[in-house]
Structure 1
Amino acid sequence: MDFVLPFSRTFLYKFIRFALVGVSGIFVDFGTTWILKEKFKIHKYIANSCGFLLATITNYLLNRYWTFQSNDPKAFQQFGKFFAIALVGLIFNNIIIYILNDRLKINFYLSKAFAIAAVSIWNFFANYIYTFAT
Structure 2
Amino acid sequence: MLTFSLAQVSAGAGSVVDYGLMVCCRQLLGFPLFWAIAIGGVVGAIINFTLNRYWTFRSSDPKAGYTSSLKGQLLRFALTVAGSILLKYLGTYALQRYAGVDYKLGKLAADLVVSVLFNYTLQRFWVFRRAPK
Q: TM-score by structure 2 length?
A: 0.87
Within 5 A, what are the aligned runs for 1:69-88?
69-71=58-60, 74-88=69-83
For the residues of structure 1 that align with 2:42 and 2:110, how far apart are their CA atoms?
A: 14
Q: How does 1:1-134 map to 2 (within 5 A)?
A: 12-71=1-60, 74-121=69-116, 122-134=118-130
Gaps of 5+ in 2: 63-67
1:65 is matched by which residue type in structure 2? Answer: Y
Figure out how many residues of one structure are paired with residues of the other and give that number: 123
Identity of aligned residues (%): 23
**Cα distance in 2 for residues equivalent to 1:108 and 1:99:** 9
SS at match of 1:119: helix
* 1:102 Cα deviation after fit: 1.5
Unpaired runs of 5+ residues, structure 1, are 1-11
Secondary structure of 1:41's match?
coil
The offset of 1:90, in angstroms, is 1.3
Deviation string, structure 1 residues 104-124 (Cα, Å, up to 9, x no partner): 110111100001001112100
- Which amino acid counterpart does residue 70 of structure 2 have in structure 1? A
Q: 1:37-94: per-residue Cα shift (whole Å, max 9, x none)?
A: 1111111211111101111111001100000000268212211101111111111111
User: Do the aligned partners of 2:37 and 2:85 also contact (CA within 8 Å) in 1?
Assistant: no
Q: Which residue of 2 aligns with 1:9?
A: none
- Displacement of 1:25: 1.2
